[in-house]
Chains A and B, each alone.
Chain A
Amino acid sequence: MRPIRHRKPDCSECQRCYDLSTASIQTAREIRDAVATRKISAVEVCEQALARIDSANPKLNAFLTVARDRALERARTIDRERHTGLLAGVPVALKDNIVTRGITTTASSRMLQDFVPPYDATVVRRLEAAGAIVMGKTNCDEFAMGSSTENSAFGPSRNPWNPDHIPGGSSGGSAVAVASGMSPIALGSDTGGSIRQPAALCGIVGLKPTYGRVSRFGLIAFASSLDQLGPMARTAHDAATALSVLAGPDEFDSTASQEPVADYVGSLTGDIRGIKLGVPHKMLEQGVEIAVRECFYGALEILRARGAELVEIELPHAPYAIATYYVVATAEASSNLARYDGVRYGFRAEGGHDLKEMYEKTRSQGFGPEVKRRIMLGTYVLSAGYYDAYYLKAQQVRTLVRRDYERAFQSVDAVVMPTSPTSAFRIGEKIEDPLSLYLGDVFTVSANLAGLPGLSVPCGLTPNRLPIGFQLTGRPFDEATLLQIGDSYERDTNWWKQWPT
């Protein structure tokens, strides 16, 4: 492991490159231990992270807002209080659909371009109580709708492994921030794969917890029955630490579960002997890039060598998951986004002569094309005459998707699949064909429909040096087993130590 430098990083003066061979910040665990034992000050860590952001962000567009003064002020407080919390002095980046008191929160939409929230999301309060330092807000697809971060009103983020390629999405900016060393931990939200897929495409770890494991209070809603917040990090260990901070009931979110919070870090024993992993081989037969398939089967061999038992399983309704997801998610989105009406907050268009005209102009000018597309689709599937054929039917198929997993978990402890069927495509490549982009969610949407936890772990690079990840899906509230498997895999591999060059 690369040691933390205690003085200025080599690259702090350079504004032109983002050469990460000199990256000074590695894992949250190292930073926290160094800060808690006063080997380095939180202010020094914060300054290093800000220097990295200054040098890399102009090219990669990971951050929309850098909370420089607030971060330094917090760092001084951490040093003064000799904070020893689980994330003492650890920089964190927040996806810009997580509200932050006093820091502009846009959801990457023109609609909320100047929105300054009057309160903090529960996850923000929990991170700060654990000593974490909020560095700023990261770019995403508008209202988290997309898988490439190209749907941001503020321009796409770029993959640090190759800036001509997408970083994935919708939590693309958060993935880039971690992958490029701007921040060791970032939060994303995941409605259909938006934490796991960008994590895979940027070569980092991404955890979507069980629905209800983490409070959604202060998350700008997209599809409320599917949305979940979770951490992105360089290691399973860091993700485990972050989840211990984030998880638990919340008086501001009645859907946040009372289920006891497990000892996620304690579960990282390295030992996965006897753990049964279900592999749905049938799902891999078509449409999976060769390099993804090879890396995935390579990862299975390592997991087997470490003592896991591989079992073939079937998920008979998996082929219907994408169609089901795009009906349910757009229906919920069309309802959730009705609140953007130009009255109480956000953008209002000029020239509306009456209230209805003002609504229509505001929403037409404030929303980007993908958001309009999904509102239209959601409105259609909920409208009279189509509700039963689309929305009700999709809710029934959702039950069947969920039952497939319940059946699988009678014989296996986790299901393992690639996270994304392909590596990162080029920016602009799929912009004309929304359906082709939706089909890339084939391995991730089921976990949201069934409410299950999912973890993406880096497992290789394509010949063109673009990252690939595999995904573990677990029983409800069994994040500990997923993290245990991911951590065990990391002990035999070094993908997580690689930096883009």
Chain B
Amino acid sequence: MPERLTRADVDRIATLARLELTEAEKNLFVHQLSHVLEYAEQIQTVDTTGVPPTSHVLSHMPADRPDEQRHGLTNAEALANAPDPAPQAGLFRVPKVL
């Protein structure tokens, strides 16, 4: 039986998810993810005509608090865990974008 996912599918999903997979991972995922999707397809047999989707289970609307200014992290605290901070400028440094 053909797998639910092809190598091309796995490549496409990896690109969307910003993952660089090895050849071995790709081969494994074609198989394993197909297996899980095949199992998950059973939900398609359930009659859901007119059934609204549940995206959360809150019984009340989330509570608001007063919109008041308050202290968050300091710049130094926010940068403390950065892999490449620019503390003098107070910025996170990244490789070139383009």
Q: Which chain A residues have a beta carbon within 8 Å of chain B's beta carbons?
A: 114-116, 118-119, 211-212, 225, 249, 251, 254-259, 317, 319-320, 322-324, 326-327, 334, 338, 341-348, 352-361, 363-364, 367, 369, 372-373, 375-377, 379-381, 383, 389-390, 392-400, 402, 434-435, 438, 449-451, 476
Contacts and interface: CB of A to CB of B under 8 A. Distances in A.
Given A360-B18, A383-B12, 10 more contacts: A212-B59, A225-B57, A344-B82, A345-B81, A353-B95, A354-B97, A381-B40, A392-B53, A398-B54, A399-B51
Contact of A211 (B57, B94, B96): B57
A393 B80 CA distance: 42
A373 B46 CA distance: 26
Contacts of B52: 396, 399
Contacts of A338: 18
Nearest to B55: A395
Nearest to B61: A254
Contacts of A381: 40
B39 A435 contact: yes
A379 B16 contact: yes
Contacts of A377: 33, 36-37
A400 B55 contact: no
B67 interface: no
B19 A254 contact: no
Contact of A476 (B20, B32, B59, B84): B59
Contact of B62 (A114, A254, A352, A376): A254
Contacts, number: 181
Nearest to A357: B95
Contacts of B80: 116, 118
A451 B57 contact: yes
Contacts of A363: 17-20
Contacts of B41: 323
Contact of B36 (A254, A326, A334, A451): A326
A310 B51 CA distance: 31
A270 to B, nearest CB: 30
B1 interface: no
Nearest to A252: B65
B12 to A, nearest CB: 8
A75 to B, nearest CB: 27
22 contacts: A255-B56, A258-B63, A320-B46, A323-B39, A323-B41, A323-B42, A344-B82, A355-B95, A356-B18, A357-B95, A360-B19, A369-B25, A376-B13, A376-B33, A380-B9, A380-B13, A383-B13, A396-B48, A399-B53, A435-B35, A451-B58, A476-B59
A254 B56 CA distance: 13
Contacts of B12: 383
Interface in B1-46: 5, 9-10, 12-14, 16-21, 25, 29, 32-33, 35-37, 39-44, 46
A118 B78 contact: yes
B75 to A, nearest CB: 11
Contacts of B58: 211-212, 255, 257, 451
A346 B83 contact: yes
Nearest to B4: A380
Contacts of B64: 254
Nearest to A394: B43
A125 to B, nearest CB: 16
Interface string B57-92: 111101111000000010001101111100000001
Given A118-B77, A249-B63, A355 B94 contact: yes
A372 to B, nearest CB: 6
A46 to B, nearest CB: 28
Nearest to B73: A118
A360 B15 CA distance: 8
A383 B97 CA distance: 25
A343 B97 CA distance: 13
A119 B74 CA distance: 11
A393 B43 contact: yes
Contacts of B81: 114-116, 118, 344-346
Contact of B21 (A212, A324, A364, A379): A364
Contact of B98 (A116, A258, A354, A434): A354
Nearest to B14: A376
A323 to B, nearest CB: 4
A226 to B, nearest CB: 9
Nearest to A251: B65
A399 B64 CA distance: 26
Given A118-B73, A249-B63, A358-B94, A342 B57 contact: no
A450 B46 contact: no
A13 to B, nearest CB: 39
Given A211-B57, A373-B33, A396-B48, A320 B95 contact: no
